[in-house]
Structure 1
């Protein structure tokens, strides 16, 4: 599936859901804003999470009391009706993140999804422990491609599996984290995908238009809140046990 096909299908499915629930023409504003680090992840002991030190920020849409989120490297506030947001052309990562956050908030309101708000404090550490158990139970001892440096996951996975990690953040590329070199995602992703048995990919790939790279014959597990709605609507495998 191409990138264009993926987003066209996702948008059509979202439109159908909104129409069936009589929300398309309802004059209800979606309000979005950039979350502070504390709002997004609380106060974990570990301070090397991308949300704290990285270039991406978490934006949050609110709809009828429910919240949907999206990581993006082009954060900003926004407001509009569902119809306006659906009809807005997707020209930038900001536009894409607004749509994804809105989709997540609406799907949470309609109870199509749960766990749409980022886990906080020490919950990411608990998530990483559960991930190791989940992979051992379902995949044995695979070689893992980690798409997007999530430090708690990398630390736990590197202690239990053979793993390679790629990232787009130039400040991380080439660094050694828990005995694993962070490789350049723009140059090494194809090689890493050919090498691995399973793919662990950050859900923010759905907001930065790189998700198409991971539709192949190998098992793909997406993690995080950004991909909550898209994973449900597009039948993608998501692991995110500790989010709210």
Structure 2
């Protein structure tokens, strides 16, 4: 599941975007901050989101007045020029989170995308219901595979579709949510692709390095989440994230 080709493409497109908007040559400072759970997601209806449980963190990059975010399990702080971000090796989740959050901020600054920030408060619940409606209207009642446990999505989709869910968090694997067993994302990924007619894939796959596998799936793939906002535009991927801002 080598994601390096995807990052090569994104690095090239990001560098071109920076040159196009005159940001490559000047010293643009990018601050990446770790957000507290309430800063990132507010007070949603449910309390079982990974952000609220402390399993994942949201980092935020600021490029002039534009902001972009990304999930990561390896948060940290970064300050440097856009050129420095483009030079990162992207060999770990922290560097990839810095790169992707910055890409999201740059894409927003360039006017390519306008919803690069996580939904807040009642947004996650509304998102789940809208995603279920979107899938129903476009695909009917397909066998749906969700990649990455997002509790509100599972709650909204479980009553509507034949559903399987995979995740990489050991604390989730083997548990049931809304009557659906959460399967091991490493062991069940290939079988899920065979079984599912439509895949709903978290944008966090762009951070954890597994996205290449899902891009190769010969099924409709819809990405969700704010992490993949800029990359979806630059790579021509389908993304549905109705409540992000």
CA deviation map 1:67-99 (0-9, x unaligned)? 100001111111100001101211211111100
Deviation at 1:2, TM superposition (A): 5.8
Between the aligned partners of 1:208 and 1:62, the Cα distance in structure 2 is 22
Separation in 2, partners of 1:157, 1:138 = 14
**Which residue in 2 is equivalent to 1:71?**
71
Q: CA offset at residue 25 of structure 1?
A: 1.6
Match of 1:150 in 2: 150
Partner of 2:131: 131
Task: Flag structure 2 segments of 5+ consecutive residues without an equivalent.
Answer: none
Q: SS at the partner of 1:222? A: strand
TM-score between the two structures when normalised by the length of structure 1: 0.98
Alignment of 1:114-125 (within 5 A): 114-125=114-125
- Deviations 1:29-61 (CA, angstroms, capped at 9, x unpaired): 000110000000001131011211252111000
Distance 1:99 1:48 in 2: 27
Query: Which residue matches 1:55?
Result: 55
The answer (yes or no) to whether the contact 2:2–2:210 under 8 Å persists in 1 is: no
* Other structure's SS at 2:85 match: helix
Equivalent residue number for residue 238 of structure 2? 237
Give secondary structure in 2 for the equivalent of 1:130. helix
Distance 1:159 1:171 in 2: 24
Moved over 3 A (4+): none
Q: Determine the C-alpha separation between the residues in 1 that align with 2:234 and 2:2.
A: 17
User: What does residue 220 of structure 1 align with?
Assistant: 221
TM-aligned CA deviation for residue 4 of structure 1: 2.0
Q: Counterpart of 2:158 in 1: which secondary structure? A: helix
- How far residue 195 of structure 1 moved from its aligned partner, in angstroms, is 0.4
Mapped contact 1:168–1:186 kept (Cα < 8 A)? yes
Q: CA RMSD in A?
A: 1.1
Map 1:4-153 to 2 at 5 A. Answer: 4-53=4-53, 55-153=55-153
Alignment partner of 1:159: what SS?
A: coil
Residue 178 of structure 1: how far off its partner (Å): 0.3
Q: Aligned-pair distance for 1:181?
A: 0.4
Q: Does 67-76 or 51-60 show the bigger shift?
A: 51-60
3-state SS of paired residue (1:160): coil
- SS in structure 1 opposite 2:9? helix
* Matched residue SS, 2:39: helix
> Is the contact between residue 32 and residue 77 of structure 1 (CA under 8 Å) also seen in structure 2?
yes
State the SS of the aligned residue for 1:171: coil
Q: Distance in 1 between matches of 2:103 and 2:76?
A: 17
Does structure 2 conserve the Cα–Cα contact (< 8 Å) formed by 1:54 and 1:169?
Answer: no
Query: Structure 2 matches for 1:178-193, cutoff 5 A?
Result: 178-193=178-193
Deviations 1:165-223 (A, max 9, x none): 00000011100110000001011111111100010000111111110111221000000
Structure 1 unpaired stretches of 5+: none
